[in-house]
Amino acid sequence: YCVDYEKQGTAGCKKCKDKIAKGMVCIVKVVPTLSPSLGGWGMKEWYHVKCMFEKLERAQATTKKIEDLTELEGWQELQDAGRDLINQHLTGELPLPVYIHASKQLVR
């Protein structure tokens, strides 16, 4: 998994199918693939932070879970508000329907 701010506002969340607004924190899951068109790397699945944690909450026991912010590639580049949002989801301190925009505003 990696984390970043949506740069263009064109990515769609794999779970809810809504667009991820430009500047919003999002989590990217890289799914391994053998597709020659992707150079053997992986396909990227984009998620709202809340959607990823909802998905992982219902995932199979064998699914890799996010247990710490530092497990997310790119976490060092997040602003404090983005880090706090993810940490609050990790600790269960935040109701799920909240987003953090790069402007540091909470969006419900």
Domain range annotation of the chain: 2-107
pLDDT given at position 78: 92
pLDDT of amino acid 16:
94
Q: What is the predicted pLDDT for the residue at 40?
A: 60
Say whether pTM exceeds 0.85: no
Which pLDDT tens digit goes with each residue over 44-78? 899 999 999 999 988 888 888 999 999 999 999 99
Superfamily of domain 2-107: Zinc finger, PARP-type (3.30.1740.10)
55, two tokens: 């998905």
Residues listed for the chain: 108
**Which pLDDT does position 102 carry in this prediction?**
57
Find out whether 19 and 11 touch, Cβ atoms under 8 Å: yes
- What SS3 state is found at 51? helix
| DSSP-based three-state secondary structure for 83 | helix
> Position of tokens 């693939």?
33
Q: Give pLDDT tens digits for 11-39.
A: 999 999 999 999 999 999 988 777 666 56
SS3 at position 13 = coil
Dihedral over Cα of 83, 84, 87, 88: its sign: negative
